[in-house]
Structure 1
């Protein structure tokens, strides 16, 4: 009896020991954690390559300070350099979190702000990769889905924006789970928070120092304007002669805190989209922005009609210039530059103030050819990045069929930017 009892005690102790080891291992593997790998080399110099195709990449980048490329992973934000490297290279710095997944990334100056599935905001100094600050924010309304390139997380960061308010201060605004919070970009201090309700209110972004939200909670839908600096609602506006449903899309948006300069609204199926300019008061009617193919840059509305790119004053519609580009469409704009892609996948880059052609070249690299369809596109600091899709485009296809190659993004430089 004594021997049997002793064996049972030993077995119990061994079981407890194993359980303890398993618990420790499980905790170490599954416990919330972050891993920050900072830069070891010097901050790279500014690069200004000649106009032309630079390289191809497997993941969509954000161009930071004209020196780095920042990418998203499912649980990671990381950077490589040089900005004009032909291929993605070993990370210059990297930041990982677990078990939260990455939801969105925005950049202002040399600060990279990421939002995660638990609502956490983490700001990184792009020059070193070091964490600048952490702050709590509302959880995203829904899990983000992104294809292999991650373009949705960095080029279309829903629920996260940086906007500049009076005095030149940049404010990070995050929304989700029926709430909006604003924090100071410089130090991560929370400035204000506001409950906005779920389901019937949808923040669409910032412009003119205001957060715009489509509010359909009570009565006909309206656009609510909330001051980013204070969180106070400054106005509630409905487009004149509008009835029924209301959708709104911001246009003329500039990365890095400048916000969006215009707005396009639409209603029922028989109501055409209408353009508006954002300012200090109610949005001002801007017919030059009507239609989904019109882009806004530097207060100029640009669109292709019958093979001609036309630039008009966004405020009064006066034609400023026109340039023959052939069958094409505007794929991206940035301050000081309009980017047009022709049917032959030739990239034409023009000055939005004058319509003068600045550079032109075919988007081709290696043996890939030009028999692809353009997907999402992005432009910053004189660079353009375009997703290349297989023809015919099948939106329901898996990533291998959807994209042209494993390195589906083509990166191009368009020439020196003006001072």
Structure 2
């Protein structure tokens, strides 16, 4: 018995190193898995199919989608996710389908997407700027930009990410170059859109200024409150130099500035609207040319939109076209009221009536370009419009519940699981 017990003790002693070795190997394997899963990584899944041709759709509602698309080059729909930007096609597809291409990053989060021609630029929470070729999904360049700071969590449609990217704009310079502008709480950078080369960087004070868009004359518009009184700052997009700081006559100390008449999103804008708290003292200004903003009385009203050389006004029981500088009425439509401006793009103003008709008018003449009800299947018209965007003749709009409130969660806020409508005009 004693010999047997001794043999068991010896065997156990021999097993201990083996057990320890197995345990160590298991820990090492676990660490390797964790490192592989959690280490920073970029995954670029490029397109396998040819670049699609641009369709010529008839006017009407095309698709019902769960997330907001950004129509790029009239051929693709680009979407955002928490850590992904991806595209599907065709642009006229009724539903979202398998991605045409996809780009993912970890652990950074996607905070903004902007498209210009066939270049799709994504901005990330670590400040990285990544440009993709829309035709293939391949990365064309990467650059280190200013960190965006705290960005509000988007709702499940990611409409703010693709239609109103925080601190991300483009501007066309006097010599025809396109500059990408990225702004954060502590800095602003200008980058050549073609190759990502940084053209300039400016350090700014935190928490007392914000950038709101770019002008058609190639300047970045900011609101500077660092000395306690808000002023409009106009900065050369090509060099980063501040050309002027300007305040509207008799402007209140607290000033809000809204870009209007923009070519794309808040970029390439021809006008601004300034106002005090609650919209008090609203005034319109033209900024299409160098120099101080020029008064535009036709833009003073909050129910006005600028498109080219015309203001479309939906107040007063009718829809009118006016001169931006004088406010003179140039055309009138009495068959569209009540209506509101849903979105604008060069050469098109998209109006939404109370019957949920989307009426697209020519801002120069007021003539109807297309008119149809924003409905697909049997969804009905019992909804409120949320965010909307227009580009290349396509209009996209979120549909909200009629009793939706900003504090509601997404289920109580949006009309259904697929609340976004895409229409061709």
Query: Given the two structures, how large is their TM-score scaled by the length of structure 2?
Result: 0.94
1:284 has 2:294 as partner = yes
Provide the rounded CA distance (Å) in 2 between the counterparts of 1:359 and 1:219.
48
Aligned pairs for 1:96-111 (under 5 A) are 96-111=104-119
1:182, distance to aligned residue in structure 2 (A): 1.1
Q: Report if aligned partners of 1:163, 1:256 keep a CA contact under 8 Å in 2.
A: no
1:82, distance to aligned residue in structure 2 (A): 0.8
Q: Report if aligned partners of 1:163, 1:257 keep a CA contact under 8 Å in 2.
A: no
1:14, distance to aligned residue in structure 2 (A): 2.4
How far does the alpha carbon of each residue in 1:216-258 deviate from its partner, in whole angstroms, 9 at most, with x for none? 1124221111101001111111111223212211111122896
1:393 has 2:404 as partner = yes
Consecutive unaligned residues of structure 2, counting only runs of 5 or more, are 1-8
Aligned match of 2:308: 298
1:275–1:42 distance in 2 versus 1, CA, 3 Å: same
Provide the rounded CA distance (Å) in 1 between the counterparts of 2:266 and 2:185.
24
Q: Number of aligned residue pairs: give it.
A: 414
1:307–1:50 distance in 2 versus 1, CA, 3 Å: farther
How far does the alpha carbon of each residue in 1:176-233 deviate from its partner, in whole angstroms, 9 at most, with x for none? 1310011110001111100011011111221121112211112422111110100111
- The partner residue of 1:69 within 57, 60, 77 is 77
- The partner residue of 1:247 within 228, 253, 256 is 256
1:258–1:198 distance in 2 versus 1, CA, 3 Å: closer
Aligned match of 1:211: 220
- The partner residue of 1:333 within 344, 357, 361 is 344
Provide the rounded CA distance (Å) in 2 between the counterparts of 1:89 and 1:76.
16
Aligned match of 2:57: 49
1:372 has 2:380 as partner = no
Provide the rounded CA distance (Å) in 1 between the counterparts of 2:386 and 2:399.
6
Aligned match of 1:310: 320
Aligned pairs for 1:330-369 (under 5 A) are 330-369=341-380
- The partner residue of 2:333 within 323, 326, 350 is 323
Q: Report if aligned partners of 2:121, 2:130 keep a CA contact under 8 Å in 1.
A: yes
1:399, distance to aligned residue in structure 2 (A): 1.2
Partner SS, residue 314 of structure 2: strand
Aligned pairs for 1:116-131 (under 5 A) are 116-131=124-139
Aligned match of 2:3: none
Q: Report if aligned partners of 1:180, 1:195 keep a CA contact under 8 Å in 2.
A: yes
1:32 has 2:40 as partner = yes
1:293–1:9 distance in 2 versus 1, CA, 3 Å: same
Provide the rounded CA distance (Å) in 2 between the counterparts of 1:42 and 1:172.
28
Provide the rounded CA distance (Å) in 2 between the counterparts of 1:327 and 1:257.
26
Aligned match of 1:171: 179
How far does the alpha carbon of each residue in 1:139-188 deviate from its partner, in whole angstroms, 9 at most, with x for none? 11203311111101011111111111122111111111310011110001
Q: Report if aligned partners of 1:108, 1:256 keep a CA contact under 8 Å in 2.
A: no
Pairwise CA RMSD: 1.7
1:115 has 2:123 as partner = yes
Q: Report if aligned partners of 1:308, 1:326 keep a CA contact under 8 Å in 2.
A: yes
| Structure 1, 257-266 or 70-79: larger mean CA deviation | 257-266
Provide the rounded CA distance (Å) in 2 between the counterparts of 1:294 and 1:43.
39
Q: Report if aligned partners of 1:266, 1:272 keep a CA contact under 8 Å in 2.
A: yes
Consecutive unaligned residues of structure 1, counting only runs of 5 or more, are 415-419
- The partner residue of 1:16 within 8, 24, 41 is 24
